[in-house]
Amino acid sequence: MLETFLSSFATLLTVQHLMFMTIGVVLGLVVGILPALGGIAGMSLLLPFIYGMDPTSAVAMMIGLLAILPTSDTFSSILMGIPGSSASQATVLDGFPLAKKGEAARALSAAFSASMVGGMFGAIALTGVVLIARPLILSFSSAELFMLAIFGLSMVGVLSGSNLGKGLAACALGLILGTIGTAPAAGGERMSFDSLYLISGLELVIVGLGIFALPEIVDLLRSNQSISSTGKLGSGWFQGVRDTWNSRWLALRCSGLGALIGMIPGLGGSVVDWLAYGHAVQTTKGKTEFGQGDIRGVIAPESANNACAGGALIPTLLFGIPGSGSMAIFLAAMILIGLQPGPAMADPARDLDLTYTIIWTLAIANVVGTALCIILSPWVAKLTTIKYTIFAPFMIVVISFGAFQATRSFNDMLALLAIGLIGIFLKRFGWPRPAFLIGFVLATQVETYFYQAVQFYGYGFPLRPLALAIGVLTVLSVWFGTRKRPGDVAAASVSSEGDAEQAQAKNLMPQIVFTVIVGGLFVYAFFDSWELASFLDKVFPMSVAVVGLIACLVVGLPQLRAQKKISGGGAIAGGSANFDMDANMTDGGPWRFVFWLVGFVGLIGLLGYFLALIVFFMTFTRAVAKTSWLTSAVLTAGAAAMIMVLTWALNMQMPYGLLQEYFYDSLVWPFR
Amino acid sequence: MTRIDRRKFLAASAATVAAASFGLPKAFAQDSVDFAGETIEWWIPFSEGGGSDVWARFMAPYLAKHLPGQPNVIVRNVPGGGSITGTNEFVARARPDGLSLLGTSGSTQFPFLLGDTRVRYDYAKLIPVLVSPTGGVAYLPASLGVADASELSKIGDQELVYASQGATSLDLVPLLAFRLLGLNVRHVFGMTGRGDGRLAFERGEATIDYQTSSAYLTNVEPLVEAGTAVPIFSWGVLDTEGNVQRDPTFPDLPHFVEALEMATGAIPDSVEFDAYMAFFGSGFAAQKPAMLPEGTPENIVAAYRQAFADAAADPDLQAAKGEILGEYEQAVGDGVQTLYEVATTIDPEAREWVREFLMSEYQVQL
């Protein structure tokens, strides 16, 4: 054993190994800072170079990249309100409000130090756990995974803000959108409208961007200022580190949670940030401002997602089962360089030294990555002081680029736009978007694992000891979260959707219409599933539709009553059900900017992505940002160059428009 | 050894002759092909990191090395729609100039064979230049007390559980195979890969499983050595005449048709068996074909076939292939056509039977 340790350590400290690791770290930093580009894009960039490299250098490079991504993607989550990847969606909830308040520096340094804690904790834990990981992983069957998914759903309670009805309705909406596509049991197609694009379901990347990023962009454009409302970054670098130190136990708990979830194949990194966030909300004592810039809302998910990245290596290495898209590419790369993951990776007589090299590279890369992020952040953070009308077109282009990574088709753009519209309305009417995302992320897991658990163990599956333990934990955490403590004004909750008092509307019609439309969607989903041949395929969407419809009634009835009262001359009413951020707007609403987005997508459909980008960029900078022709040309050239480099490096085809459809042969790259 | 369905084989041969006689323009036959300075795009209708992606990325540099002019060969992933989308797009867009190549997998062939209406590609029109086989081994828990296929009757009516990726996925092959063996198997669907099935087996949830050859060697052989699992049969491979042969990776293990004979005493002459053979060919024995678009000039086709033949014989490739290509002989040169036909054709009667069977047993609407 000692020999194994020493031999891994010797490999670790060679100059060559550290050099390749640093290359990976630097690339990961760039990919991470660009919003919406995550592990899959980063690993895809590396893949062509891996083949033919010496195995340990290749592994060092990949681990360097994987280690820094959950750290560097924090930049866009905190500074721009755009989830840097699916593992840092929850960071947006409090990180972005902090940046808006001008506390970007503090939020970033807290996030980075928490990330490092998580990364280091993950590596240390893995060193010990790798030997007993097999039985641990095997003890989580479909029954336990289902209970874990329910644990995740139970977080909706604390993520619902002041109105549980809206929380449940939003969650059900997420769940129902998550059932689109081929059903897990008999393969029936649900709400796919016979389209090939929809049979594999909506992509999480697109849903995350649509739900969080587009509404933020539109709102920031409307406010017509820089992201940081004070125009400052703040100087809280040390404050941030102190914050992490003050919340050290929270950070460690979330790291443990992250490492465990990462280690169990089947749940995946997109849930872990929400679990950690919900945990922070439930267990934090004293006055909290979750959803409006509570630093603990940054520390919890950031420590968890780094630990998760480490944990995810275990099933990949020991079972050859990748838990995420980036792990799938990591696995493929290992096979390409002649390494076959499997039980031998935990065998001291065989490849255990390689496993340890990987784990410790992860630890070192985390430290190097954190240092680089801290060094870079003052410059990156300056972005938040730029006038947003200049910044926004870049964001729109980068987001659309990130979205079409999913299937590389024009349909990705349409899906992004549609989800973005849902996001805008959820935000406007105070339906908690976190609850929606939790539902979407867990839809497949809840359905698949329930069906499998029943098939394997019968309906008594929740009585399996570990499943039962998770069930008890779920009940406890819900009780813990809803209990009012002495001195607390209200139970722990998150107000992610703004100030309720300014949003009481005199005219509730827009809200009522929205509630009715969502309710109608549930009705549609119910009858769509009704048509399916297999009972197993329809039972889940139909149940969700019923729950969603009831929740819509809970939301809609008070709204109707309030409207009636107001139109009868009464005072503004409706409690938390009455919420409309645009109730007192004076700027004509978001439509002007939604129109720009629609225009951009329409242009892509006509001219293809690249030409559309150029036209959109020139027009937007001239018409909205009111820059000079020269500035506008320079900005456009910059954006075009960035996209050209990315598509070239990833060897991607940009989405086609009608132009390419008919004149493909007479066009040259990048126009085709 | 067993002959693959006779009618199908004759049809395949006829198609080959037809394609050779008037399907391809002959005018260019004498022109030399030179790809110097060109970039060849190898379309893969799956995302990065999948089996087909690894296969193409492994082969690409050897293809580049052996094509005239040593062009640059890059892999282009066009994922989505269970690989139907990318393949449809290739058929619609790719020009027959030798600069676009398509690699598909059993998951792309199955919807075509089953008659999925969204399929816009016709394998009969694409021109194969390489076919890569793959294989796998089915195994049982040792606790069942079955030592080999001849003792399968010991299981009797006891229900076995198989963790499946879906009735129309590649797991259709084991579904049909277990049925032919007369086993009473419950298929639990919704697994995201064969790895999930292996975990279910190790947990004791699943009581019958198969793994592809490389996964079997690394992950299941330790279980066999520990005495908890027993291999029953391999899927086997097809020789150039379309006969099922033992898997070269597992020469001591009977292939499925042998196992079927050991278990039931005879090889059935039924539509069910025809259906099995079609999907077995498409899902394993000829799983991954590389194809040029319809109408590609004969000299380009010849250049590609020669390049893949040279690549497969390249000592560097042989040294590096490891478990990516395994021990399987790559179908290259003129040997490619027969195997390709086997992978991409199905008797209409067998197709109809499978469709009805999937509908009545598993409520699959096709």
Residue A76 belongs to some domain of the structure = yes
pLDDT of the residue at A579? 86
B125 touches chain A (CB under 8 A): no
Same domain, A297 and A395: yes
Same domain, B64 and B195: no
Same domain, B32 and B76: yes
CB contact under 8 A, A344 and B78: no
Task: Name B67's Cβ contacts closer than 8 Å, sequence gap at least 6.
Answer: B35, B40, B73, B303, B304, B307
CB contact under 8 A, B322 and A338: yes
Helix, strand or coil, per DSSP, at residue A24: helix
pLDDT at residue B160 tops 70: yes
Average pLDDT over chain B, rounded to whole? 89
Residue of A nearest to B366 (CA): A188
Cis peptide before A670 (omega within 30 of 0): yes
φ and ψ of B247, to 5 deg: -65, 125
pLDDT of the residue at A267? 79
Identify which has the larger pLDDT, B302 or A289.
B302
Structural domain including A116 reads 2-224+240-481
Q: Which candidate from B53, B118, B196 shows the least CB-CB separation from A332?
A: B53
Residue A491 belongs to some domain of the structure = no
Give A214 to chain B, closest Cα distance, Å. 24
pLDDT at residue B26 tops 80: no
pLDDT at residue B17 tops 60: no
Give B64 to chain A, closest Cα distance, Å. 14
Residue A60 belongs to some domain of the structure = yes
Instruction: Name the pLDDT band for A325 (thresholds 50, 70, 90).
Output: confident
pLDDT of the residue at B25? 43
Token pair, residue A131, equals: 């030997």
Task: Name A225's Cβ contacts closer than 8 Å, sequence gap at least 6.
Answer: A387, A388
pLDDT of the residue at A484? 55
Instruction: Name the pLDDT band for B31 (thresholds 50, 70, 90).
Output: low
pLDDT at residue A171 tops 50: yes
B324 touches chain A (CB under 8 A): yes
Helix, strand or coil, per DSSP, at residue B163: strand
Give A156 to chain B, closest Cα distance, Å. 26
Instruction: Name the pLDDT band for A12 (thresholds 50, 70, 90).
Output: confident
**Dihedral over alpha carbons A342, A344, A347, A351 (to 10 degrees):** -110
pLDDT of the residue at A36? 72
Summarize pLDDT for A465-482 with one digit per residue, the tens. 999 999 999 998 888 777
pLDDT of the residue at B16? 46
Domain termination site, one of B230, B252, B276: B276
Same domain, A444 and A301: yes
Q: Nearest-CA neighbor of B278 among B335, B331, B212, B354?
A: B354
Q: Nearest-CA neighbor of A510 among A438, A436, A437, A584?
A: A584
Residue A232 belongs to some domain of the structure = no
pLDDT at residue B1 tops 80: no
- In chain B, residues with a C-beta closer than 8 Å to the C-beta of A320 are 195, 215, 218-219
Region A127-151 average pLDDT: 90
This complex has an ipTM of 0.89
Same domain, A553 and A508: yes
pLDDT at residue A223 tops 50: yes
Region B44-60 average pLDDT: 92
Structural domain including B307 reads 6-133+286-352
- Give Cα B228 distance to the centre of its chain: 29
Summarize pLDDT for A352-387 with one digit per residue, the tens. 888 999 998 999 999 999 999 988 888 888 888 888
Summarize pLDDT for A29-60 with one digit per residue, the tens. 988 888 777 788 889 888 888 877 888 899 99
Token pair, residue A670, equals: 């990048």
Residue A230 belongs to some domain of the structure = no
pLDDT of the residue at A4? 79
Summarize pLDDT for A182-221 with one digit per residue, the tens. 998 888 889 988 888 998 899 888 999 999 999 989 988 9
Alpha carbons A157 and A151: distance in angstroms, whole number: 11
CB contact under 8 A, A456 and B188: yes
Q: Are strands B229-234 and A189-190 parallel, antiparallel or unpaired?
A: unpaired
Token pair, residue A140, equals: 């989580």
CB contact under 8 A, A408 and B78: yes
Same domain, A610 and A474: no
pLDDT at residue B212 tops 50: yes
Q: Which candidate from B118, B362, B365 shows the least CB-CB separation from A196?
A: B118
Q: Which candidate from A185, A188, A340 shows the least CB-CB separation from B214?
A: A340
In B288-307, the residues whose Cβ lies within 8 Å of chain A are: none
pLDDT of the residue at A495? 65
Region A149-156 average pLDDT: 91
Residue B28 belongs to some domain of the structure = yes
Average pLDDT over chain A, rounded to whole? 88
Task: Name B352's Cβ contacts closer than 8 Å, sequence gap at least 6.
Answer: none
Supply the CATH number for residue B244's domain: 3.40.190.10
pLDDT at residue A629 tops 90: yes
Instruction: Name the pLDDT band for A404 (thresholds 50, 70, 90).
Output: confident
Alpha carbons A612 and A605: distance in angstroms, whole number: 8
A344 touches chain B (CB under 8 A): yes
Same domain, A356 and A456: yes
Same domain, A345 and A368: yes
pLDDT of the residue at B192? 87
Summarize pLDDT for A595-609 with one digit per residue, the tens. 999 999 999 999 999
Same domain, B176 and B199: yes
CA-based torsion, A657, A661, A663, A667: positive or negative: positive
Instruction: Name the pLDDT band for B23 (thresholds 50, 70, 90).
Output: very low
Identify which has the larger pLDDT, A109 or B2.
A109
A53 touches chain B (CB under 8 A): no
Domain count of the fold of chain A: 3
Same domain, B74 and B144: no
Residue A459 belongs to some domain of the structure = yes
Domain count of the fold of chain B: 2
Instruction: Name the pLDDT band for A502 (thresholds 50, 70, 90).
Output: low
Summarize pLDDT for B332-353 with one digit per residue, the tens. 988 899 899 988 999 999 999 9
Give A129 to chain B, closest Cα distance, Å. 19
pLDDT of the residue at A372? 93
CB contact under 8 A, A320 and B161: no
- In chain A, residues with a C-beta closer than 8 Å to the C-beta of B220 are none
Residue A490 belongs to some domain of the structure = no
pLDDT of the residue at B10? 45
Q: Which candidate from B76, B85, B215 shows the least CB-CB separation from A320?
A: B215
Helix, strand or coil, per DSSP, at residue B37: coil
Give A229 to chain B, closest Cα distance, Å. 41
Supply the CATH number for residue B16's domain: 3.40.190.150
pLDDT at residue A489 tops 60: no
